[in-house]
Chains A and B, each alone.
Chain A
Amino acid sequence: SQKIEQNSEALNIQEGKTATLTCNYTNYSPAYLQWYRQDPGRGPVFLLLIRENEKEKRKERLKVTFDTTLKQSLFHITASQPADSATYLCALDVGGKLIFGQGTELSVKP
């Protein structure tokens, strides 16, 4: 069956450290993969998009990797800050439909 799995547990890290979130998928062949941030009570906010032929994408303190062989994407936040605390969602573009993972709740402690 088709599945998307993100870090099952919430992630707690210390301010200044690098947060690494994982997104693994099975039985999908996405052409694109996207990452979103969602704060409680609000809609998700688009962060980054990476294409299947790209290995890595960066934007300020954010970095995304996409390994279509391992069927995995890693999302890194460097020099993390308490303001980065939120739920992060990965989304696979499958035939034009966005299929979202369950999300990983990140908490950055001062």
Chain B
Amino acid sequence: KAGVTQTPRYLIKTRGQQVTLSCSPISGHRSVSWYQQTPGQGLQFLFEYFSETQRNKGNFPGRFSGRQFSNSRSEMNVSTLELGDSALYLCASSPWDDRPYEQYFGPGTRLTVT
């Protein structure tokens, strides 16, 4: 099976702009989660989607949003970008509909905000 794919892999944006990142989960996986990874804060949970509904949410401002489509593909959006949003954004899918949610991660999108 193909792994989790994320596009684009690298992105440079200017402060104040918005960005949309895309994730295709492993075939058959219905749960998709998003994480932000920075050297200072480590790996932090953003949100999780299951069957097109947000099932869990981390402690991030409302500028961070996401959605999931009927084919389980997911997108996350960050509006009004700040310098501190520069990070590796990781998408992960899980083969399980219920806990525990072992995660299969994609390669990430490296976002740089200037």
**What residues make up the interface of A, taking CB atoms closer than 8 Å to B?**
31-32, 34, 36, 42-46, 49, 51, 89, 93, 95-103
Contact A96 B99 (CB under 8 A): yes
Contact A96 B101 (CB under 8 A): yes
A-B contact pairs, 5 of them (CB 8 A): A31-B100, A34-B100, A43-B90, A93-B99, A97-B48
Contact B92 A43 (CB under 8 A): yes
Of A45, A93, A98, chain B has the most CB atoms within 10 Å of the CB of A98
Complex alpha-carbon distance, A103 and B84, angstroms:
21
Q: Knowing that A44-B105, A97-B56 touch, tell me 12 more A-B residue pairs with CB under 8 angstroms.
A: A34-B100, A34-B102, A34-B103, A43-B90, A46-B102, A49-B102, A96-B48, A96-B99, A96-B101, A100-B42, A100-B45, A101-B42
Contact of A43 with B107 at beta-carbon distance under 8 Å, contacts A34-B100, A51-B100, A97-B58 already known: yes
Contact B100 A43 (CB under 8 A): no
- Interface size of B in residues (CB-CB distance below 8 Å): 23
Complex alpha-carbon distance, A42 and B55, angstroms:
26
Contact B105 A45 (CB under 8 A): yes
Contact of A44 with B103 at beta-carbon distance under 8 Å, contacts A98-B45, A99-B45, A100-B44 already known: yes
Contact with A along B25-40 (1 / 0, CB 8 A): 0000000010100000
Q: Which 3 A-B pairs have the closest CB atoms?
A: A43-B105, A100-B43, A32-B100
Task: Give chain B residues whose Cβ lies under 8 Å from the Cβ of A93.
Answer: 99-101
**B104 CB–A CB distance under 8 Å:** yes
Complex alpha-carbon distance, A10 and B4, angstroms:
29
B66 smallest CB distance to A (angstroms): 14
CB-nearest residue of chain A to B102 = A46
Task: Give chain A residues whose Cβ lies under 8 Å from the Cβ of B105.
Answer: 43-45
